[in-house]
Amino acid sequence: MVNLVEKCIYVLSVIYTVPREYKIGGHTAAPNSIRYLVSLKSTSGQHFCGGSLVHRYWVLTAAHCNIGAEQMMIVAGDYKVNIFEGTEQYAKPRILVIHPLYNRSTNNADIMLIKLRAPMVLNKYVSLAPLPRQGTGVAEGHVCRVSGWGYNSLEGGQVPVTLRTVTVPIVSTARCNSSDSFNGNITANMICAGYSTGGKDACKGDSGGPLVCDRRIYGVVSWGNGCGDAKFPGVYTAVSRFRRWIDQTIYENMTNT
Catalytic site positions = 64, 110, 207
The radius of gyration of the chain's CA atoms, rounded to the nearest angstrom, is: 16
CB count, 10 Å around CB of 99? 20
Tell me 152's DSSP state: S
Task: Calculate ∠ Cα 246-250-254, nearest 5°.
Answer: 175
Contact 189, 59 (CB under 8 A): no
